[in-house]
């Protein structure tokens, strides 16, 4: 309102504004609500969530990243936590539930400090200092492990620690019986040790996209197996082609084996039927030249990213060459790494050195579909896990479980340090932070103490999910850690405190715990910094449709794209 009583409009009509403590409390409330949703799904005894999307498709899971992605969150502060969970998932592939729950606990403790009239800036500074100290404590508490994947003997020595990590990652997932869990662990370890590459600065690099997970409905989870090569969800293009090729020399083509139509519009005047025949004969000659070139370099298998003309298929079949077409780019790149071949963008440039090698390329029936197996590669740096299961829901959950186990092994091979699980590191961090808080001056000390309380919440939630008394469990754990036992944690399966979590095969990679603390702190501090929430008015239906059309035109999606 101006001096003369005339209203001054700054925001667009329909826009809303919340500011000060009210905005802060609304944001904290939304973030806490999201954390509470995930809280009950933490740990091996965590409960599942059933998510139904707008199409009626059902997802049943306790995987934090999947839950937040499928929930379609609307509140901007809660969306911030969703982005945090996605970032943790992208970085370390695990710990998403812990990150969101910890961020919610931090905000809950911050709210209590705000009630004492402590400024958000002081709380943020205290949280940042506490997070740095917590990472240092985790480094001190962590145990170094020896990993050697250079020799078969080294792999065998490394296998027990990899088994423990994979077991800890799969323990909270629903994948039927212990036999299936053990089978999955062996499959994951074999896959990871096959594709791991030595890093110059130490440790091993495992690119999770080099491990392809191919799902096929039918049979049971125990039929899941590792293929040391690539499985293509395609079939051989021509009935006259061989279905099995041994000692395969594979040409990987990113070029169509067909005569492409020009982009420019052209008209050709034909005055006699002979001219049409000449056109067709020329097309046939060009296709035959392409096939002859492939035969000349010695290839007996062709895997093509683009299309293969019917005439070219005929010539390839006559030469006894197995061909597959319209293979995804990601699969082509995996084939390149698995077979040692090279993707060629022009048939003219194809040479013998570009060919990949596999002991066997075969079309097999899996369930109701045909698939092409490329296996027996000399030194495959890309492999496939073929997952079988009774239904789509089970297959999706098995895929998420395998991804978590792969990421757990990837993290420890990259940074070979592990921590005991079962809430042990959280209790140790909280205890040491409280001691360290005595050296912090001013009101920031209260923020550090609040951070320590929030970190302990993870152990409290684990105790709750196991049906244990949370307060009694917390007191027992504090006593064990105060007496110098850093390995004491919660045996969630039996519902009791265990003196050494390592004996239960429950260990976590250090990098995951550090990432959880960093991400949760950043998310909580970002929300605490906001003191003004200005929301534009929601678009009307006509405006939404108009905007959608404009965006489509900008992206060039107004015309249907042909395959």
Q: What residues act catalytically?
A: 63, 96-97, 404
Contact 452, 430 (CB under 8 A): yes
Residues 489 and 480: their CA atoms lie apart, in Å, by: 9
Measure the CA dihedral 514/519/521/522, to 10°.
140
DSSP code for 218: B
Q: Tally Cβ neighbours within 10 Å of residue 129.
A: 19
Residue 350 to residues 103, 241, 257, 299, 358, Cα–Cα distance (Å): 55, 21, 13, 10, 18
Nearest to 386, CA basis, from 192, 189, 214, 233 = 214
Residue entry with tokens 């080099």: 210
CA angle 70, 54, 218 (to 5 degrees): 70
Contact 235, 371 (CB under 8 A): yes
Residues 374 and 250: their CA atoms lie apart, in Å, by: 10
DSSP code for 560: P
Q: Under DSSP, is residue 67 helix (H, G, I), strand (E, B) or coil?
A: helix
Q: Tally Cβ neighbours within 10 Å of residue 541.
A: 7
Residues 545 and 551: their CA atoms lie apart, in Å, by: 10
Distant-in-sequence, close-in-space partners of 237: CB < 8 Å, separation ≥ 6: 308, 313, 323, 324, 325
Residue 240 to residues 33, 126, 160, 236, 474, Cα–Cα distance (Å): 61, 72, 49, 9, 70
């Amino acid at each position: 309102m101006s001096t003369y009583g005339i209203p001054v409009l700054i925001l667009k009509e329909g826009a809303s504004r919340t500011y000060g403590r009210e905005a802060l409390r609304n944001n904290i409330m939304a973030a806490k609500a999201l954390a509470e949703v995930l809280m009950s799904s933490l740990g091996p005894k965590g409960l599942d969530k059933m998510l139904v999307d707008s199409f009626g498709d059902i997802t049943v899971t306790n995987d934090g990243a999947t839950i937040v992605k499928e929930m379609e969150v609307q509140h901007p502060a809660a969306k911030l936590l969703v982005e945090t969970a996605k970032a943790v998932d992208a970085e370390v592939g695990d710990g998403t539930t812990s990150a969101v729950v910890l961020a919610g606990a931090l905000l809950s403790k911050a709210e209590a400090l705000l009630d004492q009239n402590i400024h958000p800036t002081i709380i943020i500074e205290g949280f940042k200092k506490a997070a740095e100290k917590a990472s240092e404590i985790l480094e001190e508490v962590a145990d170094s492990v020896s990993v050697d994947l250079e020799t078969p003997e080294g792999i065998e020595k490394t296998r027990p620690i990899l088994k423990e990590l994979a077991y800890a990652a799969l323990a909270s997932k629903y994948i039927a019986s212990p036999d299936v869990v053990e089978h999955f662990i062996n499959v994951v370890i074999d896959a990871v040790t096959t594709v791991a590459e030595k890093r110059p600065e130490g440790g091993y690099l495992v690119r999770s996209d080099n491990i392809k997970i191919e799902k096929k409905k039918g049979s049971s989870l125990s039929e899941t197996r590792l293929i040391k090569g690539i499985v293509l969800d395609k079939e051989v293009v021509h009935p006259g082609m061989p279905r099995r090729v041994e000692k395969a020399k594979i040409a990987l083509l990113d070029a169509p084996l067909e005569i492409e139509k020009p982009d420019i519009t052209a008209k050709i005047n034909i005055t006699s039927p002979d001219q049409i025949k000449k056109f067709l004969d020329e097309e046939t000659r060009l296709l035959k030249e392409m096939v002859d070139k492939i035969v000349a370099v010695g290839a007996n298998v062709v895997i093509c990213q683009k299309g293969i003309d019917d005439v070219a298929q005929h010539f390839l079949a006559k030469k006894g060459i197995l061909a597959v077409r319209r293979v995804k780019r990601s699969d082509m790149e995996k084939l390149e790494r698995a077979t040692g071949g090279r993707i060629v963008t022009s048939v003219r440039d194809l040479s013998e050195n570009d060919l990949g090698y596999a002991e066997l390329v075969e079309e097999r029936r899996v369930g109701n579909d045909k698939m092409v197996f490329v296996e027996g590669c000399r030194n495959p740096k890309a492999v496939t896990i073929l997952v079988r299961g009774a239904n789509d829901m089970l297959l999706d959950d098995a895929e998420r479980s395998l991804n978590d186990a792969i990421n757990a092994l990837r993290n420890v091979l990259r940074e070979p340090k592990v921590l005991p699980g079962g809430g042990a590191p959280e209790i140790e961090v909280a205890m040491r932070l409280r001691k360290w808080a005595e050296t912090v001056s001013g009101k920031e000390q209260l923020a550090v103490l609040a951070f320590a309380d929030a970190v302990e919440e993870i152990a409290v939630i684990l105790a709750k999910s196991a049906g244990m008394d949370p307060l009694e469990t917390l007191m027992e754990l504090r006593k064990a850690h105060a007496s110098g036992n850093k390995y004491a944690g919660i045996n969630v399966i039996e519902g009791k405190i265990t003196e050494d979590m390592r004996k239960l095969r429950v260990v976590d990679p250090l990098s995951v715990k550090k990432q959880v603390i960093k991400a949760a702190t950043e998310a909580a501090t970002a929300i605490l910094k906001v003191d003004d929430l200005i929301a534009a008015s929601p678009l009307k239906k006509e405006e939404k449709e108009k905007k959608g059309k404009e965006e489509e035109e900008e992206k060039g999606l107004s015309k249907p794209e042909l395959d």
